[in-house]
């Protein structure tokens, strides 16, 4: 792959910043929306998705920090921070989903949660695709990795949406917390790749 000239590289870096700021803004709004929806529906899936939004904010902040400077050491530190975010998400989803399923907790329906997760899935997949393309063009492993965090966020939105729909339409209350298990595998895989893979 040829290295882009300085002007093209600066354009790509600006695009990277724009994608991360868009992700930050969406997730800040999302925390408020999800808090309201989770409390009113008593939904663990929505509460977990709110935590995922918080982790995504942290991951975006890490990438903005990394894009502001250069150097291999800075990239390594940034990648480790993104890896920690994946690990925290996996631990939370595993513990919380298991506890809720074991306790027999029954969440209420949430039209707000269904609407927000459906739109969020589309937004996150679009942002993830932009980050992947920009990260590849810049040859920036941190931006590419955080793009996978955003993909996970989109997948989690789909899983939570499916759980909410099954709960609302079919009365399957276990589907709400079970949605969290779908993402544990992906989050663990990405954390392992960051900590033990080659970059």
- Location of structure tokens 């600006």: 14
Q: Which of 186, 127, 159, 138 is nearest to 6 (CA)?
A: 138
What digits encode the pLDDT tens for the residues 4-59?
Answer: 578 888 999 999 999 999 999 999 999 999 999 999 988 878 887 888 788 788 87
Contact by Cβ (8 Å): 135, 78: no
pLDDT at residue number 145: 83
pLDDT at residue number 32: 95
Question: How many residues in the chain?
Answer: 199
Q: How far apart are alpha carbons 180 and 158 in whole angstroms?
A: 11
Report in angstroms the alpha-carbon separations of 77 from 59, 72, 154, 196. Answer: 12, 9, 25, 14
pLDDT exceeds 70 at position 1? no
What digits encode the pLDDT tens for the residues 89-118?
Answer: 788 888 888 887 888 777 788 999 999 999
Q: How far apart are alpha carbons 17 and 10 in whole angstroms?
A: 11
pLDDT confidence tier of residue 199, bands split at 50, 70 and 90: low
Buried b (16+ CB within 10 A) or exposed e, 77-96: ebbebbbbbbbbbbebbbeb
Q: How far apart are alpha carbons 155 and 152 in whole angstroms?
A: 5
Report in angstroms the alpha-carbon separations of 189 from 87, 89, 182, 193. Answer: 9, 12, 12, 6
Query: DSSP string of 111-165?
Result: HHHHHHHHHHHHHHHHHHHHHHHHHHHHT-HHHHHHHHHHHHHHHHHHHHHHHHH
Q: Which of 154, 117, 116 is nearest to 132 (CA)?
A: 154
Higher pLDDT, 165 or 174: 165
What digits encode the pLDDT tens for the residues 124-167?
Answer: 999 999 999 999 999 888 888 888 889 888 988 998 899 899 98
**Mean per-residue pLDDT for 62-75?**
75
Contact by Cβ (8 Å): 89, 187: yes
């Amino acid at each position: 792959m040829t290295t882009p000239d300085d002007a093209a590289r600066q354009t790509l870096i600006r695009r990277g910043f724009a994608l991360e700021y868009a992700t930050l803004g969406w997730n800040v709004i999302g925390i408020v929306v999800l808090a309201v929806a989770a409390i009113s529906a008593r939904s663990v899936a929505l509460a977990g998705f709110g935590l995922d939004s918080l982790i995504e904010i942290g991951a975006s902040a890490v990438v903005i920090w990394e894009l502001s400077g250069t150097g291999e050491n800075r990239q390594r530190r940034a990648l480790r921070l993104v890896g920690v975010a994946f690990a925290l998400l996996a631990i939370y989803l595993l513990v919380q989903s298991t506890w809720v399923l074991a306790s027999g907790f029954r969440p209420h329906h949430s039209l707000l949660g269904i609407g927000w997760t459906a739109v969020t899935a589309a937004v996150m997949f679009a942002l993830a695709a932009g980050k992947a393309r920009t990260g590849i063009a810049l040859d920036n492993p941190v931006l590419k990795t955080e793009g996978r965090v955003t993909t996970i966020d989109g997948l989690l939105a789909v899983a939570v949406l499916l759980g909410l729909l099954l709960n609302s339409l079919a009365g399957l209350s276990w589907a709400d917390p079970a949605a969290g298990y779908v993402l544990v595998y992906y989050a663990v895989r990405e954390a392992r790749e960051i900590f033990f893979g080659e970059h």
